[in-house]
């Protein structure tokens, strides 16, 4: 795709927007970046900045190509206004893929994407393939493909927001980890969210591979389907939560060498190994890459043990499926800290699990009162406002032999800039306890 002499409008001046602008400019386009913020900084020299952009700005914008950042609602009025005068509207992932000739492993799902993406990168590198983790995790894809050393393989974490704006994007391997309701503040219903994620398979052919968790409803696939499952002998890859088997033959013991634990991490490991096998990495080589691997921060991360109480940071649990997974994996009575932004999620399906696993619960943030009122029927609950207050409350409820688990079950944007800031704040507060 030649951009030389084309007028390209980038909507959104965040990291992915700046990376898209740099790529388009390097390809010879006339690039304009639009953002609602009062100031726009960090753009490459020669790229025009348009701060304070709104719907009226969009109505007056004319361009050959519009590139929409994933944080902006694809179907909202702002994108609608800019799209009206655009020859074509795509996203940053689509733009990057049109300028990349290597192999793409795209990983999607509601939970486990980041761990699986890291593992794909690690396994490929261990096998001698130049690979980079990018997309929704790691570096923006446009930044990677225009670098001095372009990798052979992209381990690309693909969010539903990014997949909304693909057109020709075709991963050689598409990984579907799982599905559960999320982002109901952006999508009108669960089916709309599912359809956005299913677009990862949209352009695959019989020459490609789809790695899918057994039992997931992904419809008819053109690609060859490879399945993984915990406790299911009918899948290509199986596990008991610790040992990984390929076609019934054990190829990896997660407790020997790696720091991965639990059924959900066994699924992530199987998905990564299956994806890498599809690009030529044999299971034995893939298994060796797990030696010394620790999962990303903020995912059931042990912060400290104090007076016989374990404190776990699971701030990355920004939806109910992740909260359920974390809570189900605990062997000790739990004091759960949950809450944050109101995303329109239905917590009622979790009530039974809360009653079974929790000694107490502390709620905080925008959803604190609503969540406390719902959960108080099955577990003692103390509603508070801030995370600092939640940690103080948890110390009053937790006893020796308990686990205090920060697993919010929703996003952090009511009080924090992201789950990382929330998790870091939790770790600081816990390490200050005496």
Q: Which amino acids are annotated catalytic?
A: 113, 136, 183
User: Distance (Å, rounded) from C-alpha 227 to C-alpha 206?
Assistant: 16
Closest CA to 290 of 119, 69, 92: 119
CB half-sphere exposure, 87, CA atoms < 13 A: 8
Helix H or strand E segment including 141? helix 141-145
- Give the position of tokens 């032999």: 401
Strand pairing class (7-11; 224-230): unpaired
Contact 275, 289 (CB under 8 A): no
Closest CA to 273 of 264, 288, 283: 283
- Cβ–Cβ contacts within 10 Å for residue 118, how many? 22
User: Distance (Å, rounded) from C-alpha 327 to C-alpha 423?
Assistant: 17
User: Distance (Å, rounded) from C-alpha 123 to C-alpha 305?
Assistant: 32
- The residues with which 10 forms a beta bridge, in sequence order, are 33, 67
Helix H or strand E segment including 158? none
């Amino acid at each position: 795709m030649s951009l030389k002499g084309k007028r390209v409008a980038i909507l959104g001046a965040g990291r992915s927007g700046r990376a898209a602008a740099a790529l388009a400019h390097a390809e010879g386009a006339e690039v304009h970046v639009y953002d609602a913020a009062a100031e726009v900084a960090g753009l490459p020299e020669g790229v025009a900045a348009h701060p304070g952009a709104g719907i009226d700005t969009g109505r007056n914008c004319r361009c050959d190509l519009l590139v929409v950042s994933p944080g902006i609602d694809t179907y909202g009025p702002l994108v609608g206004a800019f799209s009206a005068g655009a020859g074509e509207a795509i996203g940053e992932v689509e733009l990057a893929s049109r300028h990349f000739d290597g192999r793409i492993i795209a990983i999607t799902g509601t939970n486990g994407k980041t761990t699986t993406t890291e593992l794909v990168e690690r396994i490929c590198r261990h096998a001698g393939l130049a690979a980079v983790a990018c997309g929704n995790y790691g570096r923006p894809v446009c930044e990677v493909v225009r670098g001095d050393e372009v990798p052979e393989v992209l381990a690309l974490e693909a969010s539903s927001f990014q997949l909304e704006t693909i057109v020709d994007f075709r991963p050689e391997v598409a990984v579907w980890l799982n599905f559960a309701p999320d982002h109901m503040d952006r999508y009108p219903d669960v089916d709309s969210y599912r359809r956005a994620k299913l677009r990862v398979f949209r352009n695959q052919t019989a020459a490609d591979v789809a790695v899918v968790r057994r039992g997931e409803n992904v419809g008819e696939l053109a690609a060859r389907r490879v399945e993984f499952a915990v406790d299911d002998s009918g899948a290509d890859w199986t596990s008991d939560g610790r040992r990984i088997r390929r076609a019934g033959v054990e190829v990896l013991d997660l407790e020997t060498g790696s720091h991965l634990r639990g059924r959900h991490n066994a699924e992530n490991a199987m998905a990564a190994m299956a994806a890498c096998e599809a690009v030529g990495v044999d299971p034995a080589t893939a298994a060796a890459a797990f030696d010394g691997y620790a999962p990303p921060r903020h995912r059931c991360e042990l912060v400290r043990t104090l007076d016989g109480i374990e404190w776990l940071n699971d701030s990355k649990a920004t939806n109910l499926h992740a909260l359920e997974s974390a809570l189900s994996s605990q062997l000790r009575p739990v004091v759960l800290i949950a809450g944050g932004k109101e995303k329109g999620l239905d917590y009622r399906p979790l009530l039974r699990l809360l009653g079974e696993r929790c000694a107490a619960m502390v709620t905080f943030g925008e959803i604190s009162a609503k969540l406390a009122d719902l959960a108080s029927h099955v577990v003692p609950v103390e509603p508070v406002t801030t995370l600092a207050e939640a940690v103080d409350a948890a110390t009053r409820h937790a006893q020796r032999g308990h686990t205090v688990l920060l697993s919010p079950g929703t996003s952090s944007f009511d009080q924090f800039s992201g789950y990382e800031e929330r998790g870091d704040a939790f770790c600081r507060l816990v390490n200050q306890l005496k």
